[in-house]
Structure 1
């Protein structure tokens, strides 16, 4: 139920109740026109809902909605002071809810991306129960963020990330292989297992390849569907072979009858050519004539086989690299607490979004309290053999654009200098960039948001 519908529903209930004692003074439309603060608060809530923030701080937004509905009810009775108080309380709650939602969004960035991909694969409808269960866990994690227990919320990430990823993959498999599975089941029902087992086996192998492609790289949907199409083709072929063999049995064909039928089929294939098939010669001579005409096709098949073997080898190498990269990421992630940094994997690269790195207001000197955090950054960098490192500085929106850019540049260079002189990172591999206020991660209208925007990020590039 949307915010508008929920508000309207509660207002109707209020009208029915109040109508028993006294008629309402203002209509719903009148309330919104008379009290600009109610209309503004309602609009802000609606925007937060459309931006998907409600599920990221559910308790806070529920309380904010309650304050809105209370303000509307009081506005209908023209209780101006009470309306102002409820809106003030609601704004305080909403400020915190929005801040909590941003924290959840940052903490669960990879989980939310996995959820988006699952929805894109239609897993939310194809596996509704599993998707709903994962969303409930996301809601619980968001509630823990609201309670200030970031470490508890962080523990949900691996399970949710794996869960959304698994149902996305399963949805992709079902979408790509549904027809192939049906065709194979039809072949089994038609007794292809007994009459054409070799061909049916080919169909099953192609289906397995389609699934393996998605499990290795789920973006290769076209390739997976091609394997599934081949599986369907082989399954239907096994049905045709089964029916043909049954027909031979029903007509009581002798071995000679079968061979004459076979030669007739070859002759029909050869009808469009000028050279008749030499059926008075051994069968291998007959076959050779047709082989010459199919030489180009055979060469293409040979190339395709070589390509497949090469691709499988490369996919195996990529999988090994991904496993190594994930192990390194897990190790680096364990270095930092949720209060110190958010750690993100970007392919084989690692992004450290430092949450606890502070500079004095307007200053660029590193504080002693951050030395331990810097040591952890050095440890993370040295987990890679020879990475390039980009240190980026960011500010809030207070002050001029150019001043903020210069300040962020100086802070980034200070950190880079520490990494070189204390951490032993080669200067040629270090880059310092100041973005000023250009890349905020939170709302600059609140102090909490501005604090989040005043940050240092370290990108460790291993590609």
Structure 2
């Protein structure tokens, strides 16, 4: 009994104490304070709807927040939020649309820069980022006193991440994982702990010692399961349910004992009989849960499973960070008038916007060689498994003629890449789609210009 209650008392530490103390042992990186560089605003069409642009930028900001950009590139992220708030205020006070769009242009520029910097930080601090993500999933945002010191350290590291030592990364990672663990304990067992604390203060250890001891035992079993494998939701859920049921029974027995003081001898006997039956049921459940949770082989298996899960998640997180960095590096090679670069599934898409083919011709325009050379360099840097060149036309003219023209233009671009043999045989191909896949309406000059395009589909580590 004494051992059980002693362990329980040791397990009532607060989340803030665990998170902060775990990081105090790590040492500190040198603090760096940088003034935010002034960026040029991104130009937004003067005909754009200001309210819609604000809504879209808010969605992008929320997504960046979910991707932890607020701690990986805090300076630029905060600056973007400030401009967004200013744009909202301008919109509410009836400012001119041009002024609102200009403010949003700054917000977009700073958010774009924040995302770029965050990708670099994420690639360098993959395990820290993953550990923080796990803590947030557990509900750590509900405990800002514990989360804030760790996030402040992450922000500090992000400003000069190339100088953060492996030991500092490991310390911060472990602090986030400790916060995750303590958060799970509080979320899952906080109510049970409160009930047992109240029961103890009411003298449960003396009044109903067996029931109280069993409730503490269930609490410890559930806590042990969480510490052994915090992601085993089914087993933890069963143990937490058992602990909650037991703690609730303790509170009811205390209330029953209080009421029995005013009962007749016969009524007290009936109450004791019901209490004994409840304790017998509790014994059976406790025995079953304990036998399942404390077997050595099962605990080791759970630990192996948790380790595998963590390693797989780390690999997936690292893969995403690397893919984001590839997109960022590729996009930096082109200006806004040359190409758009984005990821579609596992593929990298380079959408050429400046391929000014002569009408009805498939010969490469001389002014396109520069941008095609840039694409070639990107392909060399990535070293992909395959490349597909896709040609598209506008909707002017007969379908069969446009189909043939798109095929010839795509083939011309492919042959330009093939001259340097940047990929092996059978790893580069071309395809024409005519006007079957328009991006915009063919009823306007601007729409037709968008539809006349060449897409370079880069497929890492896979054949066409």
Q: TM-score, normalised by structure 2?
A: 0.50
Q: Which has the larger radius of gyration?
A: 1
Higher relative contact order (CA 8 A, sep 6+): 2
